[in-house]
Structure 1
């Protein structure tokens, strides 16, 4: 493996499936976070759970890049569905990510002067993800993810975001990870498995489905990284 891959999960339950599959693990600590280096199905990785919300995710991403020389960062975990037609345990892979709680002009008229208020996923990683999804066992869809600081339990909040952004899913970290990767010119991709929908939502639904969704997200990521490894990247 030519590059070490950073795998950033928001919570311990989302990171646990990766840690269970890793070999030769060593642990280091920085900024009150634990970073686990080792191999995941033959791929050199450094895995951690960052803590939820945008600042925690951004902090962890910058450390992955600066201290562990991550050649790419994968943000992996769970999300809530926003687009109609999606089901619990479907997996969304981001083509791009944006903040639903930040005014768009903040990112287009000021640093980092984006051409549009979304951060694109890495084209090569997306191509590999599409190859992996075609041979995987779990339903995968590709599209926009949005991120904000609030867990969306009510339909009113979901509908407002749908109308403004037309995303497939919502979470509390992805755009922050994408933001840090963008300004550092490090490849980014997000893999998020759905724990709740408009019809089945709320904290209880998330808690009920989180462990299985996290395992599915790990499996989708495993297939992606096996494709990466087989192509000698």
Structure 2
């Protein structure tokens, strides 16, 4: 097993680089890939840059060039569900795009039965085992993540909440899940909340990103122990 850990931003990947042993960096397609070991598992970590296409490029390279057999998307997200608080963590059970027409993925490649990309069941079970042990310092929720190419303001939150009933929203998860789906690669996303409907805006994200990234990374590390 070789695991790709894909983050959107540089702040999100830093905790993983501190955790990894025997880390070496290589470059491809203007991205830096960090290869090493984490919990005695071979991993390749990087930040792709924000947005769907950047994340998809990175995911395909992790599979084709670095031979990753599992991909974990880690980092931060905006909360949509009102029960979420800043520094809660969301685990994807499924994910979809909020800015792609509903029939694009069902009527055309990859001809899915629904708009949702499911998380891998074995990876979900590993996360559930971590949660059941009760050693976490922050709350964790399993549910739906939604992805789109914009930072969400309050009026857009209402539309997304009404149509998709997600826990969180971000700019990359569904595109990574999409790449993993067509390649037959197990995938899961683990993202910690930086902003909520009550505490929204880019300033909230920037203020909370570093701590949220560390919380997400800690949970990923605990999950790897269970694999």
2:208 aligns with 209
Contact 1:80 1:169 (8 Å CA) reproduced: yes
Correspondence list, 1:2-21, <5 A? 3-21=1-19
Q: Which moved more, 1:134-143 or 1:53-62?
A: 134-143
Name the count of aligned residue pairs.
Answer: 225
- CA offsets 1:94-123 (integer angstroms, 9 cap, x no match): 000100000110011111111110101111
Q: How far did residue 92 of structure 1 move?
A: 0.2
2:141 aligns with 141
Q: How far did residue 132 of structure 1 move?
A: 1.2
Q: How far did residue 41 of structure 1 move?
A: 2.5
CA distance in 1, matches of 2:22, 2:197: 41
2:27 aligns with 29
Q: Which moved more, 1:123-132 or 1:180-189?
A: 123-132
Return 5+ residue gaps in structure 2 as ranges: none
1:231 aligns with none
CA distance in 2, matches of 1:145, 1:37: 28
Q: How far did residue 139 of structure 1 move?
A: 1.2
Q: How far did residue 127 of structure 1 move?
A: 1.1
CA distance in 1, matches of 2:25, 2:131: 31
Q: What's the Cα RMSD here?
A: 0.7
Secondary structure, aligned partner of 2:132: helix
Secondary structure, aligned partner of 1:101: coil
Query: Paired residue for 1:59, among 54, 57, 60?
Result: 57
Secondary structure, aligned partner of 1:107: helix
- CA offsets 1:173-199 (integer angstroms, 9 cap, x no match): 000000000000000000000000000
1:164 aligns with 163
Correspondence list, 1:29-178, <5 A? 29-135=27-133, 136-137=135-136, 138-152=138-152, 154-178=153-177
Structure 1 residue runs of 4+, over 2 Å off? none
Return 5+ residue gaps in structure 1 as ranges: 229-233
Contact 1:81 1:87 (8 Å CA) reproduced: yes
TM-score (normalised: structure 1) = 0.95
Secondary structure, aligned partner of 1:217: helix
Q: How far did residue 42 of structure 1 move?
A: 1.9
